[in-house]
Amino acid sequence: MQFDKYIRNNLQKQLQHNLQRRFSRRQMLQFTGLSGLGLALGSCGTSLYVDKVRPIFEPLNQSIEELILKPQTPVPEFPASAIEPEALLVNSFDFTPIINPNTFKLVIDGAVDNPLQLSMSDMRSLPLTSMVIRHVCVEGWAAIVQWGGVRLLDLAKLVQPQAGARYVYFESADGYYESWDIASSLHPQTLLAYQKNGETIPVENGAPLRLASPIKLGYKQSKWVIRVTFAKELSQRRGYWVDEGYEWFAGL
């Protein structure tokens, strides 16, 4: 019940915050055009964007996308017949980490009252959520995929985030790192997935655990996740590609 109160309070604060910033239709159209320019430049990772444009456009991007986000509203899903088995491309660093699922422990820590370490057996004992969604890559391709795993929302109920926790960091075994806003992290379709298309996720797709969600671009959906850290502040290291100039919020 304490966690449910925490969620309600955070959502109420976000709604009030968004309403205070509500734009007129004309302003929204104007700002959306400018925001799109920032995203286009950010996706290229250009030095122009990093040095000059991002400090101006990224807060605007984030404000608009937060306004659009509906934290408790599921995104429409697809039937199993729509799955595209070969469409999910593999993007990775110079090496693919091999993690022994029998000894693996997911660490959940930070601004929480009950930090945990969960084995894959622990994860599989938790309620399974399965969804067929479109995975969208910033490079211009997309794939309809079935993901199955544990909702971040359910994990948060176990660790009990502290008042003021506004961000969630994800650390990967290959050195990749990402950060999300708390509302997106606790969306009912944000998973730490261990299934892909009804089977165990292959190593190249992020085994044993990866992020999966229909509300974020692909580069936010970390593979090989080994640590989840709740935080009250956003640090300088916000995300591997974000720190190269990509947009931080990256909402769909």
Statement: residue 202 has pLDDT above 90:
yes
pLDDT at 62: 53
Report DSSP letters for the chain, one per residue: -HHHHHHHHHHHHHHHHHHHTPPPHHHHHHHHHHHHHHHHHHHHT-HHIIIIIHHHHHHHHHHHHHHH--TTPPPP---GGG--TTT------SS-----TTT-EEEEEESBSS-EEEEHHHHHHSPPEEEEEEEE-TTS-EEEEEEEEEEHHHHHHHH-BPTT--EEEEEETTS-EEEEEHHHHTSTT-EEEEEETTEEPPGGGTTT-EEE-TTB-GGGS-SSEEEEEEESS--S--BTTGGGT--SS-B-
For 239-252, what is each residue's pLDDT tens digit? 999 999 998 999 88
Position 51 pLDDT exceeds 70: no
- Residue of 64 and 216 predicted with greater confidence: 216
Strand pairing of 191-196 and 142-151?
antiparallel
Tokens of 42: 């950010």
- The mean pLDDT value for 203-227 works out to 96
C-alpha span between 251 and 61 (Å, rounded)? 9
In order of their start, the domains of the chain are 2-68 (no CATH), 80-244 (3.90.420.10)
**pLDDT, average across residues 171-187:** 95
Over the stretch 55-98, which tens digit does the pLDDT of each residue have? Answer: 444 554 555 555 555 666 889 999 999 999 999 998 766 678 99
Residue from 173, 180, 166 nearest 219 by CA: 180
How large a percentage of the chain has pLDDT more than 90? 63
Q: What is residue 31's predicted lDDT score, i.e. its pLDDT? A: 38
Higher pLDDT, 128 or 25: 128
pLDDT of 117 above 60: yes
Per-residue model confidence (pLDDT) at position 36 = 41
Q: Of residues 33 and 178, which shows the higher confidence score?
A: 178
Residue 189, pLDDT score = 97
Looking at residue 236, its pLDDT comes to 85
Point out the least confidently predicted range of 51-55, 141-145, 200-204: 51-55
Is the per-residue pLDDT at 15 higher than 70?
no
**Is 70 exceeded by the pLDDT of residue 145?**
yes
